[in-house]
């Protein structure tokens, strides 16, 4: 699947709820509406891979009642959205740990992964109980086990090999959006973001919709991605002078 890979750090649900005079879980519920709208609109905006930060490994530090609500929302999202995701050609996969996700939520998540496996219009990756540092460590451990079994020469371990272990066949993110005004990555896709463009918006996640995604992508398309190289127009000047 070719096309743009966008990552979103969906931040601000709690602040949105406080501003509305509502409990925090209502902010998470409103955030599901934003996710639904962005997923519906993303393919028409040229996005073919969308990775959303739904629950970080650090989020276990939150009150148990809030954590429980979040996994209830995950279960309900999978149950209620599965038919539409399937109809719209959206493939859902999970990244992160699975061993700590409550059983009922994990069952619905895995059923959604299985049901949507043939989706080709959009690859929706849900980062749940996710930590980029953990993902890098897991990839390193996997390579170390191969070395220990004599299946891999330590000298063959290169950045490219580690990259393939971490990313698989998923393209690197082109563009990362974080809502709610914070300007940090919070342990999200740290390896993959080496050359991604970053975009920070003060909008709280429950207020973010496909139109806001379109605005962000419009700015992205005005940027020049050089990947460490010299800008094309500067590189051309000496040749022009020589001619």
Indicate which residues carry an active-site annotation.
Answer: 11, 59
Decide if 42 contacts 85 (C-beta within 8 A): no
- Give, in degrees to the nearest 5, the angle at Cα 49 between 183 and 201: 25
Q: Strands 90-95 and 122-130: what pairing?
A: parallel
Using CA atoms of 89, 69, 105, 213 in order, give the dihedral in degrees to the nearest 10. Answer: 20
Q: Decide if 81 contacts 38 (C-beta within 8 A).
A: no
b/e code 131-155 from CB counts within 10 Å (16+ = b): bbeebeeebeeebeebeeeeebeee
């Amino acid at each position: 699947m070719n096309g743009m890979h966008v990552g979103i750090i969906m931040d601000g649900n709690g602040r949105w709820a406080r501003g509305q005079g509502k409990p925090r879980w209502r902010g998470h519920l409103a955030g599901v509406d934003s996710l639904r709208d962005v997923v519906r609109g993303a393919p028409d905006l040229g996005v073919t891979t969308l990775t959303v930060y739904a629950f970080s490994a650090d989020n276990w530090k939150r009150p148990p009642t809030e954590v429980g609500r979040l996994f209830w929302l995950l279960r309900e999202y999978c149950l209620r959205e599965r038919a539409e995701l399937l109809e719209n050609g959206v493939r859902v996969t999970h990244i992160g740990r699975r061993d700590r996700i409550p059983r009922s939520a994990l069952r619905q998540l895995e059923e959604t992964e299985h049901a949507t496996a043939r989706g080709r219009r959009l690859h929706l990756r849900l980062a749940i109980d996710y930590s980029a540092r953990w993902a890098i460590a897991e990839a390193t451990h996997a390579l170390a086990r191969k070395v220990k079994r004599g299946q891999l020469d330590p000298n063959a371990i290169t950045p490219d090999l580690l990259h393939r272990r971490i990313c698989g066949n998923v393209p690197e993110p082109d563009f990362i959006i974080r809502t709610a005004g914070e300007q940090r990555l919070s342990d999200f896709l740290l390896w993959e973001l080496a050359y991604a463009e970053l975009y920070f918006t003060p909008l709280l996640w429950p207020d973010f919709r496909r139109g806001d995604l379109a605005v962000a992508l419009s700015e992205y398309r005005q940027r020049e991605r050089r990947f460490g190289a010299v800008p094309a127009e500067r590189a051309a000047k000496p040749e022009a002078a020589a001619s």
